[in-house]
Amino acid sequence: MPELRLTYFDIHGGRGEPARLALTLAGIPFEDRRVVLSDWRDLKSEMPLGTLPVLEVDGYPLTQSNAINRYVGQLTGLYPTDLWQAALCDEILESVEDISTQIGATFRMSTDARRTQRELLVAGPIPLFLGRLGTQLRARGDRYFADDRLTMADLKVFAWVRHLRSGVLDHISSAIVESCADNLCAHQERIAAEPAIAAWYAERA
C-alpha cells in the first residue's frame, strides 16, 4: 500500500472531503494534513498548481480533486470497473464540481457582492441542479448514483449536500435541498449513518 498524505483545508466538506471519507471507509491509513486559512497564503506557493487538495502518493503529488477521487476510488474499491458505470460515476463527479465552483467563487467576493451572487444562485442554478441531480438518483434506483453501490460519486454528492444543509453558507437556506430534491436528503442521511463515516465526524465534532 502506498504512503499517502492528503493536504486540504481544515473544514468539513469541500473538494478534499470525498477522498478523506473513502480512505476512512476502506480503513487505509493516510496523513490527514489540514490547513488553516491563516496559513494558506504562505503554503500556497508550495502547492504544484497553487490549489488544494493535493494527494501525495509515496511523495509524488497529485492535484485536481476529481483526479484524486478517481485514484482513491480505485485504490479503495469505490470506483466502478465497468466502463459505463465508471462514466456515470464521472458524470456526477464533474457535475458537482461545476456547481461547487460557482458557489466557491463567492467566498472571494466582498460581503455585498457575495450576498448578491448567492441570491442569484439560489434563484436559479442551485435549485435547477438539485432537481436534476435528484432525478438522476431516482432514475438509477434512488439509492446510489452508479454501479448500484456506494462509489465516489455518492461521497462527492454527500459532502456537497451535507455542506448545503449545514446552514454555514450565508444567504443559502439549509432547507434548499429538502425543498428541491428530498431524496438527496435521504441519500445524505443514509451515507452519514455508515459506521465509519459517523465515527469520523463524531471524532471531529
pLDDT tens over the chain, length 205 residues: 899 999 999 998 899 999 999 999 999 999 999 999 889 988 999 999 999 999 999 999 999 999 999 999 999 999 999 999 999 999 999 999 999 999 999 999 999 999 999 999 999 999 999 999 999 999 999 999 999 999 999 999 999 999 999 999 999 999 999 999 999 999 999 999 999 999 999 998 8
CATH code for the structural domain at 4-77+196-203: 3.40.30.10
Determine phi and psi for 57, rounding to 5 degrees.
-115, 105
AA letter at 27: G
Task: Name the residue ranges covered by the structural domains of the chain.
Answer: 4-77+196-203, 83-194
DSSP 64-110: SHHHHHHHHHHHHT-S-SSHHHHHHHHHHHHHHHHHHHHHHGGGGS-
Per-residue model confidence (pLDDT) at position 12:
87
**Rounded Cα–Cα distance for residues 108 and 130 (Å):** 24
Per-residue model confidence (pLDDT) at position 205:
80
Give CA separation, 117 vs 19, 25, 125, in Å.
Answer: 29, 36, 11
Residue burial 134-145, b: 16+ Cβ < 10 Å; e: rest: bebbeebeeebb
AA letter at 81: T
45 is written with which cell numbers?
A: 506557493
Kindly give the pairing relationship between strand 31-35 and strand 54-57.
unpaired
AA letter at 191: I
CATH code for the structural domain at 83-194: 1.20.1050.10
**Rounded Cα–Cα distance for residues 142 and 155 (Å):** 15
Per-residue model confidence (pLDDT) at position 204:
87
